[in-house]
Amino acid sequence: MNEQPNNPLHGITLEKLLNQLVDHYGWDELGALIDIRCFNWEPSIKSSLKFLRKTQWARDQVEELFLNTDFENP
């Protein structure tokens, strides 16, 4: 396995990342921050993962939000 010391997302699965964001923000706020259908219309982890795995621009936005979120402060 390749080491990626400069990658802050190394070892974090997309599912774990998304679950942490949903736990922190909730679906409503997450949908307001990143306006994509899978967050705003009948949101679920399963449908969001399916969309994010196929759509790089949306995944980039979710990863950026994750990196810029202070999970210590609600």
- Residue 30 counted as domain residue: yes
Query: What is the predicted pLDDT for the residue at 4?
Result: 65
- Residue 42 counted as domain residue: yes
Question: The domain that contains 41 carries what CATH number?
Answer: 1.10.720.30
Q: Which tens digit of pLDDT belongs to each residue from 7-47?
A: 888 889 999 999 999 999 999 999 999 999 999 999 999 99
Domain containing 54 equals 26-68
- Residue 54 counted as domain residue: yes
| Tokens at 46, concatenated | 């399963």
- Residue 53 counted as domain residue: yes
CA distance 3 to 10: 8
